[in-house]
């Protein structure tokens, strides 16, 4: 009995140390987000203006940003190697004047303060290229450093800026596909990013085609991306727990890599992941599968590791969306039809992550099982389901 108590005490202390170490890991309070953008055509060139904001929500901590670099990557459907791309960064600090030479001077973001950065990109085409047809979007990679009581942290965030947006499908061009007890209509959009709003995307691309009784669905990954719930693996520091436990997952799982599993640990904590792993392993030996995912929480099923998403997000780890039910209800109230956020793959697996009141989830699963949205680069994240 004494040995058992000592063992339980050691386990308790071990778990306490694990959780405490996790909570005290180096972290910066700064956040960076894109506020707005403009695309202007000048003769045959394109001028892109992007505004970024760096905020410090901490009441007292002052954090320095000694380095900030912009690395734009041009995306399109043709060879873009001859397109000349130039970059200019202009800080708009509230208490300092920007340098004329474009040098990023180290700046202190004080508690409850923020600063803004103006990024100007110019695309100049060659004689043989046409920016209207070849260039599609710009992936703006922001490499910046945070320096403060937590140490020196390298951070990397990407912002997608669409250069062109497809015209919404006209009612005269609509062609529904026959489904199981319904008709389905995949709707093409531009490549989505944090500069987009989910409800506005649903309205802009789908509203002209909606009828009472329809259900409009959107993939959970595009919703998470528009919420900014993705990060580059270089910003993840996997601990020994993630490196050890990830080896037990199937190689195709997004938790089979140390960075993928560490992303889950960062969300729900090491204690919950460890206990879910142990209990899940015990249940698996008894023939009960899926125990880990039920115990670790919804996000465990929703994380997409690199290569699991449409480029350029294929190089990032994408988490599950926040408040999906609230978002569905908000969109349904504005559009006047049912709205659902779904997770569908080419294996015929359909999960309705959230839906507004009155949605027939059984019908949705039948309608979406053939995966009409596709799993490649179709850019049809919206699917309109119309019951027969």
Q: Are residues 214 and 280 in the same domain?
A: no
Per-residue confidence (pLDDT) for residue 80, from 0 to 100: 84
> Has residue 348 been placed in a domain?
yes
The answer to whether residue 15 sits within a structural domain is no
Distance separating alpha carbons of residues 101 and 236, to the nearest angstrom:
34
CATH number (domain holding residue 53): 2.60.40
Share of the chain above pLDDT 90, in %: 66
Model confidence at 83: pLDDT above 90: no
Q: Give the pLDDT confidence score for residue 45 in this predicted structure.
A: 85
Residue 154: inside a domain: yes
Supply the DSSP symbol for 192: P
| Secondary structure class of 193 (helix, strand, coil) | coil
**Under 8 Å between Cβ of 98 and 92:** yes
Among 289, 311, 333, the domain-final residue is: 311
When divided into structural domains, the chain yields a total of 3
* Residue 376 pLDDT level (bands cut at 50, 70, 90): low
Q: Are residues 158 and 57 in the same domain?
A: yes
**% of residues, the chain, pLDDT over 70:** 97
Q: What is the pTM of this model?
A: 0.91
Per-residue confidence band for 124, with pLDDT thresholds at 50, 70 and 90: confident
pLDDT at residue 386 tops 80: yes
pLDDT at 164: 84
DSSP H helices in the chain: 2-23, 131-134, 198-206, 220-226, 240-245, 258-268, 270-285, 291-296, 299-302, 324-335, 361-368
Question: Per the domain annotation, does 150 fall within a domain?
Answer: yes
- Whether residue 346 contacts residue 227, with contact meaning beta carbons closer than 8 Å, is answered with no
Q: Are residues 146 and 294 in the same domain?
A: no
Name the band, by pLDDT with cuts 50, 70 and 90, for residue 194. very high
Q: Within 10 A of 365 (CB to CB), how many other CB atoms are there?
A: 17
- Tell whether 113 is covered by a domain: yes
Residue 250 near residue 3, CB atoms below 8 Å: no
Predicted pLDDT at 128:
55
Q: How confident is the model over 24-46, as pLDDT tens digits?
A: 777 899 999 999 999 998 777 88
pLDDT for the residue 381: 92
- pLDDT tens by residue, 273-288: 999 999 999 999 898 9
Average pLDDT over residues 258-269: 96
Q: Decide: 355 and 361 in contact? Cβ < 8 Å.
A: yes
Whether 12 is in a domain gets the answer: no
Residues 239, 289 within the same domain: yes
CA distances from 100 to 69, 89, 104, 375 (A): 16, 10, 10, 47
327, pLDDT greater than 80? yes
Count other C-beta atoms under 10 Å from residue 120's C-beta: 15
Token pair listed for 285 = 């030996």
Q: Which CATH number belongs to the domain containing residue 330 in this structure?
A: 3.30.1330.100
181 has a pLDDT exceeding 70: yes
3-state secondary structure (DSSP) of residue 287: coil
Cα separations (Å) of 156 from 33, 113, 199, 231, 300? 12, 21, 27, 8, 23
Mean pLDDT of 89-107: 90
Q: 135-148 and 215-219: which strand pairing?
A: unpaired
pLDDT recorded at residue 131 = 73
User: What average pLDDT does range 107-118 have in this prediction?
Assistant: 96
Question: Is 21 within a domain?
Answer: no
Residue 50 domain flag: yes
With a cut of 80, say whether residue 208 has pLDDT above it.
yes
Q: How does pLDDT run across 51-74, given as a tens digit for each residue?
A: 999 999 999 999 999 999 999 999
Question: What's the pLDDT tens digit per position in 331-350?
Answer: 999 999 999 999 988 777 88
What range defines the domain where residue 262 resides? 230-311
């Amino acid at each position: 009995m004494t040995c058992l108590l000592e063992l339980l005490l050691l386990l308790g202390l071990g778990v306490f140390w694990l959780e405490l170490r996790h909570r005290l890991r180096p972290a910066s309070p700064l956040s960076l987000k894109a506020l707005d953008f403009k695309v202007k055509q000048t003769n045959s060139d394109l001028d892109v203006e992007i505004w970024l904001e760096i905020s410090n929500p901490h009441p007292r901590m002052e954090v320095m940003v000694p380095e900030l670099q912009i690395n734009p990557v041009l995306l399109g459907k043709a060879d873009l190697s001859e397109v000349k791309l130039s970059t200019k960064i202009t800080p708009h600090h509230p208490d300092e004047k920007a340098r004329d030479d474009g040098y990023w001077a180290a700046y202190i973001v004080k508690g409850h303060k923020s600063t803004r950065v103006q990024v100007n990109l110019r695309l100049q085409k060659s004689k043989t290229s046409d920016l209207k047809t070849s260039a599609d979007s710009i992936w703006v990679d922001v490499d910046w450093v945070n320096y403060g009581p937590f140490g020196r942290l390298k951070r990397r965030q990407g912002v997608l800026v669409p250069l062109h947006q497809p015209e919404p499908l006209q009612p005269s061009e609509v062609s529904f596909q026959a489904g199981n007890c319904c008709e389905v209509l995949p709707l093409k959009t531009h490549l989505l990013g944090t500069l987009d709003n989910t409800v506005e995307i649903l309205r802009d691309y789908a509203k002209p085609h909606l009828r009472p009784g329809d259900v409009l669905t959107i993939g959970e990954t595009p919703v998470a991306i528009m919420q900014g719930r993705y990060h580059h693996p270089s910003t993840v520091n996997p601990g020994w727990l993630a490196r050890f436990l990830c080896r037990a997952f199937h190689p195709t799982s997004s938790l089979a890599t140390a960075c993928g599993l560490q992303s889950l640990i960062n969300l729900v904590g090491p204690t919950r992941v460890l206990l879910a792993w142990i209990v899940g392993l015990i249940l698996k030996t008894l023939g009960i599968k899926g125990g880990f995912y039920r115990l670790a929480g919804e996000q465990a099923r929703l994380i997409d590791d690199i290569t699991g998403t449409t480029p350029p997000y294929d190089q990032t780890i994408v988490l599950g969306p926040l408040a999906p039910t609230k978002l569905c209800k908000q969109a349904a109230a504005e559009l006047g039809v049912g709205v659902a956020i779904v997770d569908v793959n080419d294996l015929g697996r359909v999960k309705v992550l959230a839906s507004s009141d009155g949605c027939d989830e059984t019908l949705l699963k039948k309608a979406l099982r053939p995966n009409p949205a596709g799993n490649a680069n179709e850019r049809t994240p919206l699917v309109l389901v119309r019951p027969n």
